[in-house]
Amino acid sequence: MNNRFKILFTIFSLISIQTWAQFTANAGLNANLCPGGSVILGGFPAATGGLPPYTYSWSPNWYLSSTTSPNPTSTSPSWVEYTLTVTDDTGAVVTDKVIVDMSYQNKTDAGRDTSICENSTAVLGNILNINSPGITYSWVPAATLNDPNAPRPIASPGLTSTTYTVTINATGCPPKIDQVTVSVIPTPPVNAGNDTTIMEGENVTLNGSGATYYYWAPINSLTYPNTAHPDAEPVVTTTYTVTGTDPTYKCYNSDTVRITVIKSDEIVIYNTITPNGDGNNDVWYMGNIMKYPNNVLELYNRYGKLVYRVSPYLNDFGGTVSGQELPAATYFYELNLGDGFGKKHGTLTIVR
């Protein structure tokens, strides 16, 4: 074989080998990253076959050290699928994919800070904390936990706000340490005030304290039952219960007060009204007036002119007569109780 033939044979052989060698891309093995970890993408080599030299393109470009290197570094903190596109010197194109996910340790933590009432419980850890092979949990302080090695233990800190620390170990990763604080809200020192005795027909202001929001019951004889100081007008001896909450509405406490009512037929007449529509003292109240169904009420201005007359009076006068508001002033009244029970005289002041 002459030299010329040998050279032609060699060239033909090389062309044949390069023509028939399969052109492939190798994006590397799927990887799970530890918190703060990284991984080198692409095989070694990242491309074979075809006709070198190769050009490389990675997408998407998220958290990559390079998009044109055969072996870039990814620091992705979450799941992502990368596509490697390789082009050889003839323009042929091949692709391959690789998935980078985070170690399950990335999904775990101590949970969100929370607040509870005294002697209540709280579940620690987020909902993704699970028992899984290769991952363990260790919580401290352990004394107030039902299980210090559970993914989501139950904390019972009693009266003391407590910060819990969890160490999460996962195979192949350094320990992950996180904290959560359980704040204990003090029970509001709710007080309903002192027991009181009144005559039937009188009203009394209750004196709640120690809370931010209040609710009194029973409400049928109360004005403003959702305030600290409602007016009570019981017709029989009544025990009122106040429930008060802290500013968060989470924690509450209760107390009671007894209003003893002494039976009486005496008319109790209050001499001032403030008809401003706030629901407090808007109408002229007369205790026990309902016991005198044949009463007659007359109201006179300072000049002696009759401005209002009604029979019977039913605790419904709000300073308006025939749709017209009476001016703010002091008026004089005569109340005939009827049926021979006599008359009452006095003044009523309207404040606007």
Rounded mean pLDDT of 96-101?
Answer: 97
132 phi/psi in degrees, rounded to 5: -145, 145
CA distances from 137 to 43, 130, 167, 203 (A): 35, 10, 6, 62
Predicted confidence (pLDDT) at residue 10 exceeds the cutoff of 50 = no
Return the bridge partners of 191, or none: 209
User: Where do the domains of the chain lie?
Assistant: 3-102, 106-185, 196-262, 268-350
Contact 115, 246 (CB under 8 A): no
pLDDT band at 36 (very low <50, low <70, confident <90, very high): confident
CATH of domain 268-350: 2.60.40
Rounded mean pLDDT of 259-273?
Answer: 95
Predicted confidence (pLDDT) at residue 15 exceeds the cutoff of 80 = no
pLDDT band at 339 (very low <50, low <70, confident <90, very high): very high
Residue that is written with structure tokens 């604080």 in the block = 181
DSSP, res 188 = P
Predicted confidence (pLDDT) at residue 20 exceeds the cutoff of 80 = no
> CA geometry: angle at 323 spanning 321 and 324, to 5°?
65
pLDDT digits (tens, 9 = 90+) for 165-187: 999 999 989 999 999 999 999 99
Same fold, 196-262 and 268-350: yes
Q: Which two tokens stand for residue 232?
A: 């009570």
Q: Give CA–CA dist 128/105, Å, rounded.
A: 10
How far is C-alpha 337 from the chain's CA centre?
A: 57
User: How confident is the model at residue 16, as a pLDDT?
Assistant: 45
Q: Which residue has the higher pLDDT, 88 or 21?
A: 88
Q: Give CA–CA dist 34/74, Å, rounded.
A: 12
pLDDT band at 2 (very low <50, low <70, confident <90, very high): low
CA distances from 324 to 271, 319, 320, 331 (A): 21, 9, 5, 16
User: How confident is the model at residue 3, as a pLDDT?
Assistant: 53
Q: Give CA–CA dist 323/74, Å, rounded.
A: 81
Rounded mean pLDDT of 138-146?
Answer: 98
CATH of domain 106-185: 2.60.40.10
Q: Give CA–CA dist 21/42, Å, rounded.
A: 20
Q: Give CA–CA dist 157/23, Å, rounded.
A: 64
Q: Which two tokens stand for residue 181?
A: 């604080």
Q: Give CA–CA dist 331/311, Å, rounded.
A: 18
Say what percent of the chain tops pLDDT 90.
88
Rounded mean pLDDT of 207-221?
Answer: 97
User: How confident is the model at residue 7, as a pLDDT?
Assistant: 46
Segment (H or E) for 20 = helix 3-20
User: How confident is the model at residue 304, as a pLDDT?
Assistant: 96
Rounded mean pLDDT of 148-152?
Answer: 98
Rounded mean pLDDT of 4-20?
Answer: 46
CATH of domain 196-262: 2.60.40.10
Contact 246, 188 (CB under 8 A): yes
Average pLDDT, the chain: 93
Rounded mean pLDDT of 248-273?
Answer: 96
CATH of domain 3-102: 2.60.40.10
91: left (phi over 0), alpha (psi -120 to 50) or beta: left
Predicted confidence (pLDDT) at residue 21 exceeds the cutoff of 90 = no
pLDDT digits (tens, 9 = 90+) for 103-119: 999 999 999 999 999 99
